[in-house]
Chain A
Amino acid sequence: MQIVNFIINNILTQASITIALIAMLGLILQKKSFGQVISGTLKTLLGFQVLSAGSSVIVQSLIYFGEIFTEGFNMQGIIPSIEAINGQAMNDLGLGRDIALTFLAIFIFNILIARFTQWKYIFLTGQAILWMATMTTVFGYVAGLRGAALILVGGFIGAVFAVAMPAIAQPIIRRVTGSDDIALGHFCTIGYMFEALVAYLTGERGENKHSIEDIQLPKSFEFLQDTYLSVMVVMVPLFVVTALFAGEEFGTALSGSQNYIMYAFMQSIQFVVGVYILLAGVRLLLSEIVPAFRGIAMKLVPDAKPALDCPVFFPYSPNAVILGFITTTIGTILAMFILPTFGLAMILPGMLTNFFAGGTAGIFGNEVGGRRGAIIGGIAHGFFITLLPALLVGIFTQMGFVNATATDVDTVTAALLYAWILSPILKHF
């Protein structure tokens, strides 16, 4: 009995062990060799520890940024980073084990829904499922769910999103690609449909509809291909300018003997380093789990439509991607200044989301409403994807998250479902 208690209390409570065991299960089900099972399990364990290390680096940098932003602008400045939310939830809030199990539950429910209903979508973007598992776990926890209920409800809601989002995007994806066998698997789909709706209402129609692909756009945004460079391009000026507003006296109190602007610069680089380490950890973590489970999914759902990550669709409409990035960025900047006047936190623009979500939204806007639709829809999309995370800031702050909010709007919508619908219902019981 002592041994069982030891295993339950000291081993199974460790998130890294739980997630490594999930990987082991997937590898065993795939009938991999003993060596492959061991190496895959250990790599997953290692991936979780790398993710934790990245999270610590990000949090340190965010604490510094929070202090100088409050001093400089007398308000809370929030960095939209789903990576930071995931890292903090996994480590600092002790929800790592529940997130890992919810992640597995989303996979299983997704397969079950695809197997037994007419919606044959299998969501294959592992990283996005991890972000969804993070949000359903965090907000399920806030709603009062614990243990198996927390995991099963999170898994089911996450899986419904994993099937529903590709399904609602498919009519437009079908028009873009000209076929029906591949779907979009990116948890920003509600934003894409919002842009499509605005583009439909305000855009060009019929003979007056002109695609953005008919004109030549500058290709100077090539740097955006590099995830870390694009984060750096925003973070460096953000930290340095904020440090200037906070002033030398305050800045030096934090930087010690180092020049306060140089310190701010190095802190911004630290943030990028944190994202780099965290995402390297996520890749290592998912590199064994995702192939195992997608193999199982493809076998159990023979006529599955794989829902793939958004860059697969970029070449179908490259100008719309660039236009979507520009217009979404304009929308996020407008929202950054407008939302605080309504008592909401100031959400700083997130370059990664603006590129990937903005670019894909641009394809939707252009397809539905041509150039004009893509421009107006893109700005509205930028505003929309800033507004939704702003609504979550209060809950995140209450839970102890440091100066960060979630990004991908489908995960934010799932969180709002918990906060606005599930939580009030549960409070009656």
Chain B
Amino acid sequence: MFNFFKKKTTKDTKEEKLHNLSSAERSAVEEKINNLNNHPEADSPKEQYHYHEQLGLLYLQLDELEEAIDHFERSLAAELKMGDSYKKLLHLYHKKCQESAAVGNDDQIDYYMNKLDELRNLGKKLTFK
């Protein structure tokens, strides 16, 4: 009834595939990032949201997690909106927590756990947007 034994979604596999880019694909993503960086940042919050979200998604493809997190956070700071930025941040914070745990970095675990706590408050705000 609720797919109790379903382990992985197709989306997970798709994301894994995205992170194994060939050098040509990687260059294409980097070029897109350069193009976006060469454009001046838009004024309206809506455009800023999309601008940073796009950059975040591109950095995510390159597996540059800190850059991706930074852009997703800036995108939500520009406009509070439910979309890829929020969804990706939820998973990226968790991933960074795991990475920090693997190297035993307590301060980083704490930092990203607090970020997850912040998403709790953001979640309430987003519900009424």
Q: Which one of A67-75, A92-100, A153-161, A290-298 is at the B interface?
A: A290-298
Q: How far is the CA of A30 from the CA of B114 in the complex (A)?
A: 16
How would residues 1 to 39 of chain B score, 1 for a CB under 8 Å from any chain A CB and 0 otherwise? Answer: 111101111011000000000000000000000000000
Chain A residues closer than 8 Å to B116, beta-carbon distance: 124, 306, 308, 312
B29, chain A: closest CB distance, angstroms = 22
Q: Is the CB of A299 within 8 A of B124?
A: no
Q: How far is the CA of A177 from the CA of B121 in the complex (A)?
A: 18
Knowing A180-B12, A182-B94, A308-B120 touch, does A299 contact B126 (C-beta < 8 A)? no
Q: Is the CB of A315 within 8 A of B120?
A: no
Q: Is the CB of B9 within 8 A of A318?
A: no
* A196 CB within 8 Å of chain B: yes
Q: How far is the CA of A180 from the CA of B10 in the complex (A)?
A: 11
A32, chain B: closest CB distance, angstroms = 8
* A401 CB within 8 Å of chain B: no
Q: How far is the CA of A106 from the CA of B97 in the complex (A)?
A: 22
Q: Is the CB of B82 within 8 A of A318?
A: yes
* B101 CB within 8 Å of chain A: yes
Chain B residues closer than 8 Å to A314, beta-carbon distance: 123-124, 126-127
Q: Is the CB of B98 within 8 A of A295?
A: no
A227, chain B: closest CB distance, angstroms = 10
Chain A residues closer than 8 Å to B65, beta-carbon distance: none
Interface members, chain A 284-306 (any B CB < 8 Å) = 291, 294-295, 298-299, 302-304, 306
How would residues 44 to 80 of chain B score, 1 for a CB under 8 Å from any chain A CB and 0 otherwise? Answer: 0000000000000000000000000000000000000
Q: How far is the CA of A306 from the CA of B69 in the complex (A)?
A: 19
* A172 CB within 8 Å of chain B: yes
Chain B residues closer than 8 Å to A321, beta-carbon distance: 127
Q: Is the CB of B113 within 8 A of A124?
A: yes
Chain A residues closer than 8 Å to B101, beta-carbon distance: 295, 298-299, 302, 304
Contact among A302, A312, A315 for B82, CB-based, below 8 A: A315
Contact among B9, B127, B129 for A174, CB-based, below 8 A: B9
B94, chain A: closest CB distance, angstroms = 6
Contact among A178, A222, A311 for B121, CB-based, below 8 A: A311
* A89 CB within 8 Å of chain B: no
Q: Is the CB of B3 within 8 A of A171?
A: yes
B121, chain A: closest CB distance, angstroms = 7
How would residues 364 to 391 of chain A score, 1 for a CB under 8 Å from any chain B CB and 0 otherwise? Answer: 0000100000000000000000000000
Q: Is the CB of B128 within 8 A of A315?
A: no
Q: Is the CB of B109 within 8 A of A315?
A: no
Closest residue on chain B to residue A219 by CB atoms: B128
Q: Is the CB of B104 within 8 A of A299?
A: yes
Closest residue on chain B to residue A169 by CB atoms: B2
Q: Is the CB of A298 within 8 A of B109?
A: yes
Chain A residues closer than 8 Å to B6, beta-carbon distance: 171, 174
Closest residue on chain B to residue A306 by CB atoms: B94
Chain B residues closer than 8 Å to A303, beta-carbon distance: 98
Q: Is the CB of A182 within 8 A of B90?
A: yes
* B41 CB within 8 Å of chain A: no
Contact among B91, B113, B119 for A294, CB-based, below 8 A: B113
Q: Is the CB of B125 within 8 A of A225?
A: yes
Q: How far is the CA of A171 from the CA of B4 in the complex (A)?
A: 5
Q: How far is the CA of A178 from the CA of B114 in the complex (A)?
A: 23
* A337 CB within 8 Å of chain B: no
Knowing A175-B3, A179-B11, A316-B82 touch, does A295 contact B106 (C-beta < 8 A)? yes
Q: Is the CB of B109 within 8 A of A306?
A: no
A16, chain B: closest CB distance, angstroms = 24
Contact among B2, B94, B102 for A172, CB-based, below 8 A: B2
Chain B residues closer than 8 Å to A221, beta-carbon distance: 128
Chain A residues closer than 8 Å to B110, beta-carbon distance: 291, 295
Q: Is the CB of A318 within 8 A of B91?
A: no
Chain A residues closer than 8 Å to B109, beta-carbon distance: 294-295, 298-299
Q: Is the CB of A312 within 8 A of B123?
A: yes
Q: Is the CB of B123 within 8 A of A315?
A: yes
* A-B contacts, 23 listed (Cβ < 8 Å): A171-B2, A178-B9, A178-B11, A180-B12, A196-B2, A219-B129, A225-B125, A295-B110, A298-B97, A299-B104, A299-B109, A302-B98, A308-B120, A311-B121, A311-B123, A311-B124, A311-B127, A312-B90, A312-B119, A312-B123, A316-B82, A318-B126, A322-B127
Listed from nearest, the 5 A-B pairs whose CB atoms lie closest are A171-B2, A315-B126, A298-B101, A311-B123, A314-B127
Give 5 A-B pairs besides A182-B94, A225-B124 with Cβ atoms closer than 8 angstroms: A177-B87, A178-B87, A302-B102, A306-B116, A312-B116
